[in-house]
A and B are shown apart, each in its own frame.
Chain A
Amino acid sequence: MSNQRPIQVAIIGGGCAGMTAAFELTRPEHAGKYHVTVYQLGWRMGGKGASGRGPADRIHEHGLHLWMGFYENAFRVMRECYAELKRDPTKCHIADWRDAFTPDHFSGVADWSPSGRWLPWRVNLPPFDGQPGDPGNPLPRWTIADYLARSLTLVRTLLTAVQHHEASAPAPATAPSPSTAGVGTPESLLEDVSRLLKYGQLATLAAIVEALGLVESVLGVLPRFPESVLVRFLDAISTAARGQLEKVTEKDDELRRLWEIIELVLAVVRGSIRFRLLTDARGFDAIDDYDCREWLRLNGASERAINSAFVRALYDLAFAYEDGDFSRPRIAAGQAVRGALRAFFTYRGAFFFKMRSGMGDIVFAPFYEVLERRGVRFEFFHRLENVKLADASRLKPGERPYVEALEFDVQAQVKGGGEYQPLVDVRGLPCWPAEPDYTQLVEGKRLKQEGWKFESHWDKRKVGTKVLRVGEGFDFVVLAVGGGAVKHVTKELVERDARWREMVERVKSVPTQAFQIWMSAGMRELGWTEPPINISGFVEPFDTWADMSHLASEESWKRPPRAIAYFCSALPDAPEAEQQSPSFPEAQHEKVRRDAVRFLNRDIVHLWPRAQQKPGEFRWELLMDPSEAPGSEPRARGEARFASQYWTANVNPTDRYTLSLPGSLRYRISPLDPTYDNFTVAGDWTDCGFNEGCVEAAVMSGRLASHALSGLPRLEDIVGFDHP
């Protein structure tokens, strides 16, 4: 690169991926080599993570956002961002990253008991040393053998618990007599396995636990160990354990859950050995053409185990329902197993972290402030319409294709031609508003009166257009829009490049739905007597609930709510023709309202037994309306009170959640893909190493995009990229 001037980078989309790419490219280490401009639809950054402050400064989210303790890249970037921000804690109560993220150890899944009722299965996952994103703390080089060893340890512990739980616990088995070939050698392990198989010494739980210990040892030397013997041994262990436990577990919900987990883990271990994943260069990718349930079934898990609360929660948390159809749960087995293993076995600090305010306020306001200080320009109200490629006939021999121009619709002009100032102050905390500040916009009053919906795919109104050309408006492009929007903004790419065509066809996304309620009664009064929790695997249409009551103090109510609850799930996709209708978003919004009302009337009682005033009717008077003064006459009664709460149908292409369907992951395009020599991609829809929709994947892709353009960060510093 011979240019002496700074390299102009246009980043399209200010979600987690785009902001991360901007953060990486403007690090001081680059000494100003890259000048970044972020182009953003509408008035706020965040994409699927955007939030806004509504009436009473209520936080309005796109959905429910929890950060997991294995989000090493996301936490690392956020910690650096907060460190650089240097907020004054006397003026802003969320000054440090520890103020922003609260460890959340208490989680659960909703379990359908054979006794015919929903039971929350609560787990208190212990804190672990360190914190996600700890600097200078090298992380292990993960292997599948490591994970399997950990998994077997989990099974042994569960079996030991079962053993203690069982009233008529059998006497411990005689320990296998030591082999003669030397303790711990492959030869001695094989002798032990053969003896156990031959003499059927798996008649007690204690013996099974011992046998599992043997398998753990074998994993350390697996390439020198006959796999067929090991699979046979595992089968014998499973059969023996099933024989010991199945009758017992029928009557006891706690034992049944433990047995389901044991079955699932044994299926993963057995499958990893049968599919030779330990030595397969593709790691877990090798089984991505299978659906996770299908693969578990292939490897011996029972129907009961693969339909257990744990597996349902795994699908729910990834909105893993093709076309939002709850009868078609589908997720690529490799990525699902990778995600579960990373979640359980590599978290630091806490399994989950909750944000202490809206995601926009916790993540995107700090990003915005730091990047602005670094000189990043933000062009709000820009809607990308086309990525124009250079004519192939003009390419010289050996020259790679490149992006020649970016074509935008400009949705609004800022008065005086300056930059739009997007943040509002909520008691010292910079926040994003739920609506644009029309006073900053040319003819803002008219735009407001006419109800321009800047974030709506169906509102194509504009005040002008803008074309950026290579070498003038940009040198490099990072396409960081939401996965669902890609096909709408890259029509030319899709038309000319078969890989892009396959990508937009095969990498599907799904709309989601969410609602939030603010209540005048505490959770205990509603019958939930446990600590605040996140629960998945519950009944559709809202399978996931999180108690977010901790946010009450962040909002500006005259009388703070005593409980806040967020719910979310996938939203069934409508036929394509229906989606073309201008009234489609409003119709979907109304559908979500109806879903939420029905859910509160009919289903929530299973978790909140005192939330009904009579069978089939929620206690609507508990809902708090921010427009009502305390003690005043209610503005509405009955279920009409729900109108004062917040709900959303995330049907905009940019808001759709990217799925990890079986057989689809190979069609993703990597930020490292060099096909276009001035263009890269970022987002949780890309092939970024962790191919599942989440903050961590988006941040990883943003870091990869930065690496693709600048060589930094190094790939080995992108935690979890090199991972089975």
Chain B
Amino acid sequence: MILDNFKLEGKIALITGAGRGLGRAMAVKFAEVGADIVAASRTRSQLEETAEAVGKTGRKCLIVPTDVTRSDQVNAMAEAALKEFGRIDILVNNAGGGDESASKRIDQITDNEWRRGLDTNLTSQFYAARAVAPAMVKQNRGKIINVASGFGLRGGRDNYMYACSKGGVIQLTRSLALTYAKNNVQTNCIVPGVFPHDERAMEFYKGGKFIPLGRTGTDAELAPLAVFLASDASNHINGELVIIDGGGLAGGIAPTGVLPELTSKSAAEA
């Protein structure tokens, strides 16, 4: 049965930023199709909630409180996963996010904000890949899924740290993909558009009326993409960005919702 290709039966998946939102959604969906989970994030109490949700599927969930900006902690996270399960089949680099610098003028952004943002969004993914890649090479099998953003491909007004760090994630994806192509390790990148997590964000994006599909996305819609990229169904896909944004990046050179029309001799009349 071809749908079995999407199963993760017996696979071990290490997910960062797994204490909430998309990270938790992915942990639960992965477990639904048979994976055991190693859940990492800073806050133990949130990880415990994720573990409880994973537990309901009957799969195991090891929680490893981790500050992904600290390489010693990231190395310890990979070691804990290997000690418990003996291997790591899937790494999801999901931890990261925006910060208050995205609304500041460039001369008001501090060195610290810039560095902390890059550490959280980009360096963390490098650390985790570095910690996990040797095990995947030894297994001659592995999947790395990096989470970037549409801002990794487009510019944003007053948006430096986030756009640069997510752009870096895309390039990290490509170099990992090329490097480990012969070791049967595939690295791909999820590029989400607008996925608001609170009402303020939903209001800011006006419910998604500027998105071609006319709405914003949900974490529950992102999770199947992660399952696909973690599974054997994507085995020859490597170094690829999968954009999930309701059509935003397919267009973007004209406003959404109004159609250009020629006043004389339109295509339909010609």
Are A and B part of the same complex? Answer: no
Interfacial residues, chain B to chain A (CB-CB below 8 A): none
Binding site for B on A (CB under 8 A): none
